[in-house]
Amino acid sequence: MRGVAHTEATDNISCDIIADMDTSTAEEIARVFAPVGAALHSVMPRGVSLANDMMGLSGLSPVTYRTLYVHNVVGCTHNLLGLADIGDWVLDPKASKKQLHLSRGPWSVRMLSTTYEGMVPTAGPNQARRAFYSNPSVVSRPGQQALVEQHGFIIAWTLDDASGDIELELVHTLSPWKHGHAEQIDLRMPLLPSEGDLSTLRFVPSDDDDLEGLGLIDPRGRFQRGTRNGFGATS
């Protein structure tokens, strides 16, 4: 069964039904990550600019040498993020390949670039990453229970090469999945530039007359996505 989200945007967004979530839990997750979102939106454009300069000085095309370019973006962003205000989050001092690691109490987050198709990258065979992708659901936990459990989150970032715009999404995975199979995700929401922007996210209850399911929607109509009964969401 599928639901269609009607927003002020011109397009409708389809989304699979996912489990009921306590509204306060979704809002609290967004608030906890607000300092990280604000910092990344502040420093990443500069990180991208520096990475472009580095590639230009080397005479290397960011398209041809995409992996190197992504590494440069992450490295520059990591360096700038170390000087930014990220609240009570702690930045791992080492930038590991294409990842940035942050932690806050029992929660940790890794920053990963999306695939060419705009998908969250798979965990692959690495056992440490597969363990990181394995989490109890946050949408099925009552009240504040999810907030005191250990969870691994992913910040999936996408760079529009034409416009230079950067899109950041907060993703919570349930288990690893194989390439080409449905993403095992129970929460996906935009990571916004400021805590004030949280008011643009709208929680859609599962008993809405027009919407079957639940989601957080921003003005552009992006919908939080999940999986149910083995079928992946599409947008």
- Mind listing the pLDDT tens digit for each residue in 29-62? 888 999 999 999 999 999 999 999 999 999 999 9
Residues making up the chain, counted from first to last: 235
Terminus-to-terminus CA distance in the chain, angstroms?
A: 15
* Residues contacting 47, CB < 8 A, separation 6+: 73, 74, 76, 77, 79, 80
- pLDDT one-digit tens code per residue, 211-222: 444 445 444 444
Helix (H, G, I), strand (E, B) or coil at 27: helix
Q: What percent of the chain has pLDDT over 90?
A: 40
Angstrom distance (rounded) from CA 206 to CA 15: 12
DSSP state of 113: E
Q: What is the structure's pLDDT at 22?
A: 53
pTM score of the predicted model: 0.77
75's tokens: 């490295």
Residue 78 has pLDDT above 50, yes or no: yes
Give the ranges where the chain is alpha helix by DSSP (H).
23-58, 66-81, 127-132
* Residues contacting 169, CB < 8 A, separation 6+: 155, 156, 157, 158, 188, 189, 190, 191, 222
